A and B are shown apart, each in its own frame.
Chain A
Amino acid sequence: MIELQEVRKVFHAGRPNEQVAVAGVSLTLEAGKLTVFRGPSGSGKTTLLSLIGCMARPTSGRIFLKGREITSLPVRFLTDLRRRTFGFIFQQFHLLAGVSVLENVMLPAYPLGEKYRHLRARALGWLERLGLLSKAGAKAEWLSGGEAQRVAIARALINDPDILIADEPTAHLDTRLSREFMALMADFRAAGTTILIASHDPLVHEAPAVDRVVDLRDGRLLTPEAPG
């Protein structure tokens, strides 16, 4: 369902500080699977995820999503695609401080202009499932690390995405919370969500729900996929 063809991403191209973050990656990712990207720091994991997630455009190469080429789509379509198709969980969680948990969760849905009652019910539903209902009115900065991440997960899920992208999701969690996180991902995978995780945490790679581990080094796949 996600296909990358010779995708390259070069920062500061043509300047002395030119940086090749992704150096020609061809990859096919199946729908409904949990894929983990593994690699040393600077190997291009984050960059690759941001390319797949329509947050940035590749310098060259093409990306197909459900058979549709997305690399050449205008910005408006990319934005729309991003908010309807992807849910993001960032390494730093990136919750807005000073704003309630509930609002943080509903944030990605605002531009869609859905009925307030429905959106709120859905957000509260997710918070309940993640055991955070009592925190709905709390300010985001009062949360513990584990709670903050679950809020970030609820936020990622608010638009019912097909694909969940998580960048180093366990970096700020202890072993127990990391396991809980992977267990949650397993649930979502079981429900049919495609999950992409970048991580160098063994706890993540070794989780039972992981379908595939893709190794990256210096912006390339360690073992290139056989074409076809």
Chain B
Amino acid sequence: MGPLFAKQRYLLDFALSCLWRRRGKNLALLTVYTLVVFAVASVMFFTQALKREAALVLGATPELLVQKLTLGRHDLIPADYTHRIREIRGVGQVTGRLWGYYYDPQVRANYTVLAPQGVEVPERTVLVGAGIARVRHLTRGATLTFQGYDGKPYSFQVRGVLSPESELLSADLILMSAADLRRLFGLPEGLYTDLTVAVANPREVSTVAAKIQELYPDTRPIVREEIRRTYEAAFDWRAGILLAVLSGALLAFLIFAWDKAAGLSAEERREIGLLKALGWDTAEVLQLKFWEGAVVSLTAFFLGTVGACLHVFVAPAPLFAPVIKGWSILYPRFRLTPFISLFDLGILFFFTVVPYTVATIVPVWRAASMDPDQVMRS
């Protein structure tokens, strides 16, 4: 153990003694600080996990979505659009999708009604998402009645409930046959909600999109990337709202820290003078303060981050989830896959530990560079 290490350890010892001396104030500060780190880290982990999962899952969606616009609003797309789009170079499968919203006044929730291509659903039956099954208390064999476009009731037998495993995607889905969907919504043959277009080579996506636009000026091709980015923006927005709400706490903390750090009391000033009179260097006084700041901020960082990890990934974020995910009647219940990037942690570490530590050192600077003889007269 070299003398340099021994010295820093002495300074740490003494810094801890100094913190302990004003434990009331310092513990209060530490609590607020930990809460701030906890809140910021929770929001960060949650948003990141949601974004990563969204990106991963949406990576499997078709590269392009083509929707028809009339008067700047979404309109049904004729089936024969598929033929010419399929002939564009680089385009794989083109599929017409049939889906729509259904608002269920009984539970005041929106469903997404979909006639899937990949799943066979017999007529007069439906498969329902786990969220719907929950709010409507549906089980296999139950009857579900919708009000059709013509105001008449249409009844379906529930053939099954979609796996809760995929609730993040399917909580509000109602799957039915294409014929049933057309009947329920009064949709004529030959029209689809939109088209999905598979493009094998990701670099060709934008070219294909441009060609479709050229071919059919009344369509709007939507690139998968856009959807992903929209989600990211939405999540970031929500994280932003949360952080804005939390900024009150942040501000309180800043005031607290400022008061503690900048408002160097006469007593503290005197003590710094004493240390200097006892043979301490300016640098050593600053190192002492560095340790004081580092102890508080490191403690807050670790307690806050570990707390946030537990909060977000073990106790599914009871405090913030409603805001980040949004409120909903059909709340999807899903386990968040814990993606934690070390880079994010590093950023959090930097922004929690460094500013506070610096803030504790800076105001001491002047006091620490004063002449030690002041102590002789007080």
Contact = CB atoms under 8 A, between A and B. Distances in A.
Interface in B360-378: 371-373, 375-378
Interface residues of A, number: 38
B281 interface: yes
B55 interface: no
B14 A107 contact: yes
Contacts of A98: 17, 20-22
Given A94-B274, A96-B271, A98-B21, A111 B376 contact: no
Interface string B4-41: 11111111011001101110000000000000000000
Contacts of B284: 110-111
Interface stretch (A31-39, A49-57, A142-150, A189-197): A49-57
B280 interface: yes
A90 B17 contact: no
Given A96-B271, A99-B21, A55 B278 contact: no
Contact of B7 (A46, A79, A83, A110): A110
A155 B277 CA distance: 12
Contacts of B5: 113
B7 A113 contact: yes
Interface string A89-110: 0111010111110010011111
A76 interface: yes
Contacts of A79: 279-281
Contacts of B359: none
Give the interface centre of B1, B3, B279 by most chain A CB atoms within 10 Å.
Answer: B279
A82 interface: yes
A100 B20 CA distance: 11
Interface in A116-130: 116
B372 A111 contact: no
A210 B9 CA distance: 41
A110 B371 contact: no
Given A90-B376, A112-B7, A113-B3, A107 B21 contact: no
Contacts of B13: 103, 110
B3 A114 contact: yes
B353 interface: no
A96 B6 contact: no
Given A79-B279, A111-B280, A112-B7, A99 B17 contact: yes
A115 interface: yes
Give the interface centre of A76, A94, A106, A112 by most chain B CB atoms within 10 Å.
Answer: A94
Given A55-B376, A113-B3, A113-B7, A155 B278 contact: yes
A66 to B, nearest CB: 18
B14 A116 contact: no
A111 B1 CA distance: 15
Contact of A113 (B10, B22, B278, B376): B10
Contact of A50 (B271, B281, B373): B373
A24 to B, nearest CB: 19
B264 interface: no
A24 B372 CA distance: 22
Contacts of A116: 6, 9-10
B187 interface: no
A76 B373 CA distance: 16
Given A55-B371, A97-B21, A98-B21, A46 B277 contact: no
A176 B11 CA distance: 38
A181 interface: no
B275 interface: yes
A98 B20 CA distance: 8
Given A50-B373, A55-B372, A92-B378, A110 B281 contact: no
A176 B8 CA distance: 41
Nearest to A165: B376
A159 interface: yes
A55 B22 CA distance: 29
Nearest to A94: B274
Contact of A96 (B274, B280, B282, B372): B274
Given A103-B14, A113-B10, A50 B376 contact: yes
Nearest to A85: B279
Nearest to B288: A110
Contacts of B20: 98
A15 B8 CA distance: 42
B376 A46 contact: yes
A114 B279 contact: no
B281 A167 contact: no
Interface of A: 46-47, 49-50, 55-56, 75-76, 79, 82-84, 86, 88, 90-92, 94, 96-100, 103, 106-116, 155, 159, 167
23 contacts: A75-B282, A79-B280, A83-B279, A83-B280, A86-B279, A88-B277, A88-B278, A90-B375, A91-B376, A96-B271, A99-B14, A99-B17, A103-B17, A108-B278, A108-B280, A110-B10, A110-B280, A111-B7, A111-B10, A113-B7, A115-B6, A155-B278, A167-B376
Interface of B: 1-11, 13-14, 17-18, 20-22, 271, 274-275, 277-282, 284, 371-373, 375-378
Q: Which 8 A-B pairs have the closest CB atoms?
A: A83-B279, A113-B7, A98-B21, A113-B3, A50-B373, A55-B373, A110-B10, A56-B373
Given A83-B280, A113-B7, A159-B279, 16 more contacts: A49-B376, A50-B376, A55-B375, A75-B282, A79-B279, A82-B279, A83-B279, A92-B378, A99-B14, A103-B17, A106-B10, A108-B279, A108-B280, A110-B7, A110-B13, A111-B279
